[in-house]
Amino acid sequence: MSTPDVTVTVIVYNDAERLPRAVASVRRQTHANLEIIISDDHSTDGTPDVARRLAAEDPRVRHLRLERNSGGCGVPRNRAMEIARAPLLMFLDSDDELPPKAVELLLAAHREREIDFAMGAVRRIRVD
């Protein structure tokens, strides 16, 4: 397997229901040379089973399960960064989704402008 251009870390805690949608939004990216690390903050629901299934479906997906719950976002992100294979990182939470060209556009901005950090617009959608 070649080195991916981008690692997208998806942090999750007890969110088995929404995790597949978040990961699917990364799998649908127009820029396909990426890896996806699901960083599970020691979920106690069905999240680990869902994450393992998602990893089995796509070789770009890896599942990392923390040994104990950290109670925050930083530890799962940092642990994913420790095992990331790509030189560039993107962060996603399990209740978020990426539009189809997000990786392509942010990577192009990085390459064209030689910037260290790129961020896209955020659109909040409430389902309640």
For the residues 54-61, what does the mean pLDDT come to?
98
pLDDT of 44 > 80? The answer is yes
- CATH no. for 6-113: 3.90.550.10
Provide the edge-to-edge strand list for the sheet that holds 6-12.
61-65, 34-40, 6-12, 88-93
76-126 pLDDT, tens digit each: 999 999 999 999 999 999 999 999 999 999 999 988 987 888 888 888 777
Residue 78 — φ and ψ, nearest 5°? -65, -40
pLDDT at 116: 84
Q: What is the pTM of this model?
A: 0.93
Contact 86, 7 (CB under 8 A): yes
What beta strand segments (E) does 1-128 contain? 6-12, 34-40, 61-65, 88-93
pLDDT at 1: 63
Query: Taking all residues of the chain, what is their mean pLDDT, rounded to a whole number?
Result: 94
Contact 43, 13 (CB under 8 A): yes
